[in-house]
Amino acid sequence: AQSVTQPDIHITVSEGASLELRCNYSYGATPYLFWYVQSPGQGLQLLLKYFSGDTLVQGIKGFEAEFKRSQSSFNLRKPSVHWSDAAEYFCAVGARDRGSTLGRLYFGRGTQLTVWP
């Protein structure tokens, strides 16, 4: 079964600083990987996804993530954080093997990002 670990419950950074949110997954093969953001009182928005190909993926709002198979990781990065990036970030994994239901995603517990002015 798939599982996702986000080891950092809460991260605080200063505006303009760089950011890295960690995500590790457990899955028998290469999964589909996603990062979602949830702002207070808002729905979930997809930041980026990895299906195959280039292991460095670019997303919206200046975010990127790198898939590292050897480390079973899919860490989210942003070179310069803006105050509007304060939100909850969720990493998710989906199965891609034959017979699995595509779109059935499993989420990590989330990382709350606070941005200091």
Q: Which of residues 47-106 bind another protein (CB under 8 A)?
A: 49, 51, 90, 92, 94, 101-106
Those residues with Cβ within 8 angstroms of residue 110's Cβ, 6 or more apart along the chain or in another chain: 6, 9, 38, 88, 89, 90
Pick the stretch among 11-19, 43-51, 59-67, 71-79 that binds another protein (CB under 8 A): 43-51
In this structure, which amino acid lies at residue 8? D
27 binds another protein per the rule CB under 8 A? no
What number of other Cβ atoms are within 10 A of residue 34's Cβ?
24
Q: Which of 25, 27, 32, 67 binds another protein (CB under 8 A)?
A: 32
Q: Would you say 102 or 117 has its CB closer to another protein?
A: 102
- Maximum pairwise Cα distance, the chain: 48
**In whole angstroms, how close is the CB of 53 to another protein at the nearest point?**
12
For residues 42 and 96, the answer to whether their CB atoms sit within 8 Å is: no
Nearest-approach distance from CB 17 to another protein, in angstroms = 25
Side-chain half-sphere CA neighbours of 90 within 13 A: 16
Pick the binder of another protein from 44, 72, 73, 77 (CB under 8 A).
Answer: 44
